[in-house]
């Protein structure tokens, strides 16, 4: 267990997409280009192997390599301050512990842990609490609870369970991809941000989350527009809520559009079109979407705004 565990700093974190060549091997130049565009866009941190990073499609060695490559790319280019969170979800406690140790070795500062879901009916509240505590006990770096019902067979951790886990000395935050602002607010008003960082996992409640005491955002859309998200954060911090709300409306529409494109392939397709790097290859059985001008009107609007910043 990590000594003196503290939560990740507040701000905007991106579950970065991972680029592959036509053979589904790592496209290193594209990965580096993407990491650097995000860092130059001002993001606080990068989540390697969030659900957008195709973690479940990677071998253990590839997962370590993706973290190592991201950390080295940041460090070699003067972005040592950019935090790396590593997704370390697996279907057994044993494998999850191994992935946490690997992540620490490869240069991550925090782990984000999904709840196992092959046997959802057996994941009782007691089993969920035990799993996350056992992983946190063993992890050499602080862990965070990743609640994403869409990828965990509908398992949706409530504020009671997450609030209990927040009492563990090595569990320092949560990503709520359920997007439930009420749950977020219950957590932020129960556990101080200095002990436990609560992040929404979707951009369409970014500003609403900040108003409710969140630590910022860990979301897919900053893959497309990191600067626009940092601008919402800056305006909120400056007390300019109305100005922030105008950009937030744009984020909400673009986030919805991205979801309809099927997030991962959609991000790669949109980024390739507008920023000129990376292909659209996703590991099968995923596939890249067919993108039409009509399907990306709000994303195009957001990117036009991004390029003014």
Annotated catalytic residue within 13, 19, 146, 233: 146
Annotated catalytic residue within 175, 227, 268, 298: 175
**Among candidate residues 165, 191, 162, the one with its CA nearest the CA of residue 178:** 162
**What is the distance between the alpha carbons of residues 223 and 238, in angstroms, rounded to a whole number?**
24
Q: How far apart, in Å, are the Cα atoms of 81 and each of 18, 24, 78, 175, 178?
A: 21, 31, 8, 21, 29
Q: How many CA atoms lie within 13 A of 91 on its CB side?
A: 9
**What is the distance between the alpha carbons of residues 17 and 281, in angstroms, rounded to a whole number?**
11
Those residues with Cβ within 8 angstroms of residue 5's Cβ, 6 or more apart along the chain or in another chain: 142, 169, 170, 172
Backbone angles phi, psi at 173, to 5 degrees: 180, 180
- Dihedral class, residue 18 (left if φ above 0, else alpha if ψ from -120 to 50, else beta): beta
Is 98 one of the annotated active-site residues of the chain?
A: no
Question: In this structure, is the dihedral angle defined by the CA atoms of residues 306, 49, 79 and 273, taken in order, positive or negative?
Answer: negative
**What is the distance between the alpha carbons of residues 44 and 230, in angstroms, rounded to a whole number?**
9
Q: Where are the alpha helices (DSSP H) in the chain?
A: 28-40, 60-76, 93-106, 125-138, 159-165, 181-188, 206-211, 226-237, 241-261, 263-275, 297-306
Q: Are 168 and 144 in contact (CB under 8 A)?
A: no
218 known ligand binder = yes
**What is the distance between the alpha carbons of residues 304 and 221, in angstroms, rounded to a whole number?**
14
Mapped onto helix, strand or coil, the DSSP state of residue 136 is helix
The DSSP symbol for 307 reads: T
Is 146 one of the annotated active-site residues of the chain?
A: yes
Residues annotated as catalytic (active site), given as ranges: 146, 175
Residue numbers in the known binding site for pyruvate are: 218
């Amino acid at each position: 267990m990590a000594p003196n565990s503290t939560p990740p700093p507040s701000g905007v974190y991106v579950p970065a997409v991972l680029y592959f060549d036509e053979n589904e091997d790592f496209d290193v130049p594209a990965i580096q280009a993407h990491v650097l565009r995000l860092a130059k866009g001002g993001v606080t941190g990068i989540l390697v192997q969030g659900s957008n990073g195709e973690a479940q499609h990677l071998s253990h060695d590839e997962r370590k390599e993706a973290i190592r490559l991201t950390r080295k790319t940041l460090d070699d280019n003067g972005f040592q301050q950019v935090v790396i969170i590593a997704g370390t979800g697996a279907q057994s406690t044993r494998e999850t512990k191994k992935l946490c140790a690997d992540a620490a070795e490869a240069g991550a500062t925090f782990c984000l842990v999904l709840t196992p879901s092959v046997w959802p009916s057996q994941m009782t509240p007691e089993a969920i609490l035990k799993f996350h505590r056992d992983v946190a006990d063993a992890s050499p770096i602080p862990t965070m609870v990743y609640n994403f019902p869409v990828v965990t067979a509908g398992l949706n951790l409530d504020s009671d369970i997450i609030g209990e886990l927040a009492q563990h000395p090595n569990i320092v935050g949560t990503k709520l991809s359920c997007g439930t602002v009420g749950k977020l607010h219950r957590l932020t008003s129960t556990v101080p941000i200095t002990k436990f960082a609560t992040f929404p996992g979707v951009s369409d409640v970014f500003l609403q989350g900040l108003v409710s005491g969140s630590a910022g955002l860990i979301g897919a859309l900053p893959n497309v527009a990191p600067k626009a998200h940092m601008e919402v954060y800056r305006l909120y911090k400056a007390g300019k809520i109305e100005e922030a709300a105008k950009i937030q409306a744009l984020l909400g529409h673009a986030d919805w559009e991205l979801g309809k494109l099927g997030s991962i392939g959609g991000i790669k397709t949109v980024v390739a079109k507008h920023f000129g790097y990376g292909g659209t290859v996703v590991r099968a059985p995923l596939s890249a979407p067919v993108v039409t001008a009509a399907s990306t009107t709000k994303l195009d609007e957001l990117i036009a705004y991004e390029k003014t910043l």
